[in-house]
Each structure stands twice: as C-alpha cells, then as structure tokens.
Structure 1
C-alpha cells in the first residue's frame, strides 16, 4: 500500500506524469459521455444509494463535458512549451550519422508532433474563452482542425517507426545453435581447458568446459531478456499510438 502511494505521489508531482494523470481522467469522462447508457446506469446506481438525491442524466452529462473542457485546458497549459522538445528530438535524429528508415520516420513523427504542439499552444487563449482571443473563434477552429491532421500524421509515423524497430530487433535476435551451444562453449573454454589439464588433468578440462557452457548460456539468456524487454516497450508504444489515432481520426471524420 505504501509503495503504491509513493508511486502515485511521484507520478502526480512529475510534470509528465501529471499530464498523463489528467489525460486518464479526461479519457474516463469521455467514455462516460460517449455511452449514455453507461452514464444512465451509474446515475441510477447513485440515485438508488441515496434516495433523497435526484440526479438528472442530462445535467450530469453537461457537467462532465464542461469538466472535460477544463481538463483539456489544463493539459494544454502543461504542454505549452513541449513542442520545443519535439523539435529538438527531430533535429537530433536528422543530424545523426546513421539514418535508416526508423530514423526518417522518427524525424517525420517528431516534426509533426512539434507542429501539433505549437498550434495547440498558439490557440490556448482562444480555447480559454476568457474574453481575450488571438485568432478569433473561426480561425482558431480552423487551426485546431489542421492540428488534428498533424497529430494523426505524427501518430501514424510513430507507429510505423515502432513497428520497423520491432521487426529489426526481432530479426537481430541470435538463433540458438544445435546442441545448445556446446560447440561455441567448447571454443570459448579451450584456453581454460589447457590450464586445467596442467593442474587436474581430465577433470579440470571437463569443469572448464562446463563453466564455459554455463557462461555462454547466461549470456544468451541475458541477451534474450534484453531483446524481449525492448520489444515489449516498443509493442506498448505501438499499441498506445494506434489507440491515440482514434481521437484525431474521429474528429476529422
């Protein structure tokens, strides 16, 4: 329980974690407002628990929509200058020496993310609707529509890049040799075997071969674990990008 509380505190005090926490709350509210039957069931359950309180589904949905807008405004404020980091990442990838398909997809994705963040930042005053506007409601709506296109392009390029990295990573996975690597272990322990012969004869040679085989097996397992961890992280990022694509795609129709 203490570790979970510590993780929540660390997640809530970090600027990136706080933005993602607000994003989670906004996504939960979005699900409730997109499915009126689910919202009606929750309202009915709340009304049955306290009969004295009468809860209107329509007013509740309107309040949740207003809360979503407030969370969106808070998230945009947190991300005000994040587009600078995206442009910096894009420039680093562009100036790198070894630029394969994954690197060019990363350049495209980070550049599009940067432009998307920039357009979100410049329309922040128009989104707040506090009487002070920069572009006006019509132009701000048009810029927001263009920003959704950039977001979709960025997510698409990021998903392709993650998929390409996963394929390259899985293709580089070493194929285990026949005999569970006995031949490779024999070559690796040849020097140790000669020293063992001078001391203990045949028993020392057998022990040296066994130690070399175990060392080779440990290296193979460590390499496989590292590849699996990287592939898992890339797979999670790929799934997250594909799920995020639903938001701009639904807004663009």
Structure 2
C-alpha cells in the first residue's frame, strides 16, 4: 500500500480532517446557493439526472437545510476541543512565565535584550488559544439546543442566541490574535535569518565545502517552509475573520462572499492536517 494512500486514509479518519471535509462541503453548498452561475449549473445537472426541471425555490430550501445540517455535524467533531485549546494556552503560558523569570534572574539589572513587541509577541499566541477555547466552550454549551428536539433545551431561545453571538465574538478575537501572531512571527523570522557566510581566503577541502553547501541548502529549505506555513496560517486567519465578523455585525459581506472565504480557508487549513497525517504515517512506517 502506498504511503500517499495511507496518508489519505489517516486524513479521512482523523477527527480534524473529517471536520475540514464537512466544512469544505458546507462552503460549496453555500457558494452554490448564493451565486447565480453555480446555482444554474446545479439545476442543469439535476435536470439531466432526474429528467425534470427542479424548482429553484425548492432547491434553495434544500441547500439551506443541507448547509445547516453540515454545520451541525461539524460541531460534534469539535465538541470537546475547547479542552485542547485551554490546555495548549496553559502550557504555553507556563513556559513563557518560566522563561521570563529565568531572564529576569540572569540579567541582574542589565538592559532588556528585546523590544516590547518581541516580548509581547508570544503572549499573543496565548490569547489566541484562550479566545479559541472560550469560543469552543460556549459553542459546546449550546449543542443540545442546536439539535432542535422539541422539549429538549438547556437555554431559552434568547439566551442561546446571546451565547452563540458571544461565541462568535471570541472566535473573531482568536482569529485576529492568530493573524497578528503569525505576521509578527514572519517578521522576526525574516530579521533573524542569518546572512550567507563569506568563504574564507584559505583553501578548504572539497568535502568540507560540499558539507557546508548542503547545510546551507537545508537551512534555506527549513526557513522557506517555516515562512510559507506562517504565511498560510496568517492568510487563513485573516480570511476567516469574515465569518464571525458578519455574524456579530462588524464586517459587511454577502453570504456568497462568506462561502468563498470559507472555501479558501478550508483548503489552507486542510493542508496543515494533511501534512500532519503524512508525518504520522511516515513515523509509523
């Protein structure tokens, strides 16, 4: 069995991968229902397969219901993910606090080696993870109400709407912090990139030169990969802001635009999960 196929199996059976797949389907459904050309093409496909012209109004109702079902299905995959977010935030906070204490003990009155932005920068990631945990926790608290089973509810309708709105606000804060963190991380990575070392005047062996060139290529590859992944994460966070932003009323965007943003960010975030599954398959093999 090829490693690529094993990676595909790992991705489609991973909870995060499955949630991303459902999110991709949801974004496609939202695009189909809000843009004229894709919607007309969908009607043509239905006409060819069913040999009768479907009603546009009925089709839109079906797409809306499908969108809601896919959104609900995704929530079960991230029901307890707030625990992971809070745990990651707590670990990172403890690590940063310990590092700051050690730095204060070692410098003994010396000048602070880093600027304010550099010192605050890692804490932005802590805020991003904490806000994400709050979003997921509030969302999880309304899962019973989201089932819409008659007579089964934890909150009143008004309270459930308020909690859902506040959850979206926390998600928005998390995305902003994540985008700022990634952009700053890219800036620090670029500024910390070591300039190419000049070759000495003395003669060196070909073996040593080849080893140095190989090490330079590996460092350049690692540097490029890191910047690429950070840029990908920043782009996904910035585009994702449209989703909660429209819900809380801070961003004006049409449903079709939201669907396009969701489609692009889903592809970008799916790549992270796909690469992780590839590493897991390679490690297990």
The equivalent residue for 1:136 is 156
SS in 1 for 2:205: helix
The equivalent residue for 2:64 is 65
**Mean Cα deviation higher: 219-228 or 111-120:** 219-228
Whether contact under 8 Å (1:173, 1:224) holds in the other structure is: no
CA deviation vs aligned residue, 1:8-45 (integer Å, no higher than 9, x gap): 32221111111111111111111112224421232134
1:192-211 map, 5 Å: 208-211=204-207
Please, which of 141, 147, 152 is the counterpart of residue 122 of structure 1?
141
Equivalents in 1 of 2:69, 2:51: separation in Å? 29
1:207-226 map, 5 Å: 208-226=204-222
SS in 2 for 1:54: coil
Q: TM-score when scaled to structure 1?
A: 0.83
Equivalents in 2 of 1:121, 1:51: separation in Å? 40
Q: How much has 1:139 moved relative to structure 2? A: 0.8
Whether contact under 8 Å (1:105, 1:158) holds in the other structure is: yes
The equivalent residue for 2:129 is 110
Whether contact under 8 Å (2:138, 2:167) holds in the other structure is: yes
Q: TM-score when scaled to structure 2?
A: 0.74
CA RMSD between the two structures:
2.0
1:144-155 map, 5 Å: 144-155=164-175
The equivalent residue for 1:52 is 51
The equivalent residue for 2:81 is 82
What is the aligned length?
228
The equivalent residue for 2:190 is 170
Larger relative CO (CA 8 A, sep 6+): 1 or 2?
A: 2
Q: How much has 1:63 moved relative to structure 2? A: 0.8
Unaligned runs of 5+ in 2: 101-118, 250-285
Equivalents in 1 of 2:233, 2:140: separation in Å? 25
The equivalent residue for 1:17 is 17
Equivalents in 2 of 1:65, 1:2: separation in Å? 39
CA deviation vs aligned residue, 1:82-102 (integer Å, no higher than 9, x gap): 000000011111111346333
Equivalents in 2 of 1:3, 1:60: separation in Å? 41
Equivalents in 1 of 2:99, 2:84: separation in Å? 21
Structure whose CA Rg is larger: 1
Whether contact under 8 Å (2:165, 2:248) holds in the other structure is: yes
Equivalents in 2 of 1:234, 1:109: separation in Å? 15
